[in-house]
Amino acid sequence: MQPAEVMEALLEIAASAEIEVRSARPGAPADGDWITESGVCRLRGKLFVVLSPSDSVEEQLDVLARALRDHAPRALEGRYLPPAVRARLE
């Protein structure tokens, strides 16, 4: 499986788990104090995964897989996962 296919599968799982995945806007504020990295946050009780375009696809996959493992393990139970997706989640 190509990384883009693994990402698509993880995004489908995230959607079913009601985890909102967003892409960070490229670039930084004018003051340059922000470091943009992919990450997970909770806002008003809702879980968000923010993927930074400056991170590699592998880094983005790691952040999304970690969010699913840590915050939505039930979304993974009893679901067929292709071996490449399962390996990413382990």
Q: pLDDT class for 36, splitting at 50, 70, 90?
A: confident
Residues 63 and 38: beta-carbon distance below 8 Å:
yes
Kindly tell me if the per-residue pLDDT of 73 is higher than 70: yes
pLDDT at 33: 55
Kindly tell me if the per-residue pLDDT of 57 is higher than 70: yes
d(CA 85, CA 30): 38
Place of tokens 């930084």: 28
